[in-house]
Amino acid sequence: MAWYHKAKSKAEKLVHRGLDRHVRVAVTGLSGAGKTAFVTSVINQLLHAPVEGHLTFLEPCRERRFKASKLAMHQELHIPKFDYQGCFGSLVDANPIWPSSTRNISQANISCRYKVKDKWLRKVSKDSTLTVEILDYPGEWLLDLPLLRLSFKEWSELCQQYLRRERRQQYASDVVKQLSELQYSEPVDEAEIDKLLSSVANDYRTALYDYRKYNKDFSLALPGRFLLPGELEGSPVLSFFPVISSDILSLDWEQFESQSLLKILERRYNYYQKHIIRPFFEEYFSKVDRQIVLIDTNSILESDYESYLDFKHTIERLLEGFSYGRSNWLKRLFSPSIDKLLIATTKADLVPPDQHASLESFMQKTVAQVKNDIGYEGVDVETMAIASVATSEPVTTEHDGKQLHCVKGLDVESRESVIHYPGKVPSKTLSREEWRKLEIDFSPFAVPCFSPDEPLPHIRMDKVLQFLIGDKFV
């Protein structure tokens, strides 16, 4: 019978290993989309998950199987830790403010202890642990994915097209002139290379970045790390820029000397591809199980039509990364493992609840084509309107004898209670003319005084968690 006991114990070990599970959830979105607030809220909600009546849509909570949770250290020690204490601390401070935005990759692990549901697994163990690994990274980095397939020349051509667009000509003229005056065929003095490249690259980056920031230009002609360098800040790997002069672009680049400025720039670009973009995706795509992409639809609706078109283009590029089947090269390179993708429009607390469906529908229609492509490739895709941290409550007022649904919160300056109606949120995409007539204002509220002992108020975070990890509590 010894063999029987040995086999049984081996089987139990295997089942235990199966029960001690991990799910890796990656959180991304463009700068300001709400990633830091989201990760802070996810951790906070899960830490309160064992409280009865909390997170009603999350299956193990609804079935009262969620027993305990705690923050745990992650194994990937090269990835910085998400500063939950600092972020939560600023939200519940005596003078509460929003935590600082994501500028680098970071990770948080939460161990969740729960009662096993599966009747076969229960024979081995009544309880199990699911470790939820949350990886927060700038969406701008994801936009680098297409660069892996572009040569330096092809990338330069795209940048040239981008800068030629009418709306950018004015602000880009100085930097375009500067780039055009460089002597690309001349060798550069060794001692001067770094100084020259970093100074021009810096001017190029600053001109584009500032315009993007102040004019809501959601499009990009910059590598992701130029926008958010993370730990690469100031390093020479970011000292390159595109060649946008038509005269140079029309030439055969093979004829350039190895020490020419053009070839030096090309080598820097190739280095960036090989040593920055590629390792990030190798690590990232091969290990992530679930992905959430956050979108600040409110701020898009407040901007002009050109910005909307830019945004649509950018978000399509960002989401294309999840359309594996169409990009077979991606599959070959990184063997991606994501099987669920959530596209969430954030800050829904600034919109009265009766308009949440419109907000979601507008965002859904904006990304419809690319969402369809991803779904077609077998990834389960869902969209939602959410608020990681709700700063308002719904109220109904009367206007012209009719009931009007509004939101009530604290004024950012005076912290007095104010009621706000943001306008009518469209439920479909609009023509240029319709867009012009939009009257939308999603004024933010101040962060209210939250109790540090209560879960942060939210909108649909329990649905988010059910979609992303609910099925893992077996």
Least distance in angstroms from the C-beta of 407 to ligand GDP: 9
- Tokens linked to 307: 């910005």
| Strand duo 417-420 + 402-410: pairing | antiparallel
Residue 330 beta carbon to ligand GDP: minimum distance, rounded to whole angstroms: 24
Tokens of 349: 């607390």
CB of 359 to ligand GDP, least distance (A): 13
What is the closest distance, in whole angstroms, from the C-beta atom of residue 295 to ligand GDP in the complex? 10
Nearer to ligand GDP, 83 or 157 (CB): 83
Is the Cβ of residue 36 or residue 314 nearer to ligand GDP in the bound state?
Answer: 36
Please identify, using beta-carbon distances, which residue of 39 and 175 lies nearer to ligand GDP: 39
Nearer to ligand GDP, 98 or 209 (CB): 98
Tell me how far, at minimum, the Cβ of 101 lies from ligand GDP, in Å: 3
| Residue 21, CA atoms < 13 Å, CB-side half-sphere | 18
Taking the complex as a whole, the smallest distance from the CB of residue 318 to ligand GDP amounts, in Å, to 13
Alpha carbons within 13 angstroms on the beta-carbon side of residue 267 total 12
Report the number of secondary-structure helices (H) and strands (E) in the chain. 20, 10
Of residues 42 and 244, the one with the C-beta less far from ligand GDP: 42
* Shortest spacing between CB 4 and ligand GDP, in angstroms: 55
Nearer to ligand GDP, 98 or 253 (CB): 98
Assess contact for 277 and 238: CB atoms under 8 A. Answer: no
Q: Tell me whether residue 236 or residue 394 sits nearer to ligand GDP (CB atom).
A: 394
Q: State how far the Cα of 277 lies from the Cα of 104, in Å rounded to an integer.
A: 14
| Longest CA span, the chain | 85
How do strand 21-29 and strand 127-136 relate by DSSP bridges?
parallel
At 46, the amino acid letter reads L
Per-residue b/e over 298-326, b at no fewer than 16 CB within 10 Å? bbbbbbeebbbebbbebbbbbbbbbbbee
In the complex, minimum distance from the CB of residue 97 to ligand GDP, in angstroms, rounded to a whole number: 8
Sheet (strand 393-399) strand order? 393-399, 402-410, 417-420
Residues in contact with ligand GDP by CB under 6 A are: 29, 31-37, 98, 101-102, 346-347, 349-350, 387-389, 391, 444
Residue 32 vs 146, nearer CB to ligand GDP: 32
* Neighbour order of strands in the sheet with 290-295: 66-72, 106-115, 127-136, 21-29, 290-295, 340-345, 380-385
- DSSP state string for 373-412: HHHHTT-EEEEEE-BSS---EEEEEEETTEEEEEEEEE-T
